[in-house]
Amino acid sequence: MRVTMWGFAVDIDDRLVGCSADSLRNQLAEYEDGERREFDVDVRFPDSFTAR
């Protein structure tokens, strides 16, 4: 999924988040507008992720 925030394109692997694409886009828009400081999303880290 590609979103634009503050004029920058950002790629998000939506297979790793536990919500719908619409919900994530809405939360990102609220964050960008300063209406949100935290996200209500579970994130699954793949086994290959080593920065835990």
* Residue 25, token pair as written in the block: 């886009």
pLDDT by residue (tens digit) across 16-46? 999 999 999 999 999 999 999 999 999 988 8
Q: Is the pTM above the cut of 0.95? A: no
3 and 25 Cβ atoms separated by less than 8 Å:
yes
- Residue spans of alpha helices (H) in 1-52: 21-32
pLDDT at 52 over 70: no
32 and 5 Cβ atoms separated by less than 8 Å:
yes
Q: Which residue has the higher pLDDT, 32 or 14?
A: 32
Domain ranges of the chain: 2-32
Q: Which residue has the higher pLDDT, 22 or 49?
A: 22
Closest by CA to 21, choosing from 4, 40, 36, 1, is 1
Q: For the beta carbon of residue 22, count every other beta carbon within 10 angstroms.
A: 8
pLDDT at 9 over 90: yes
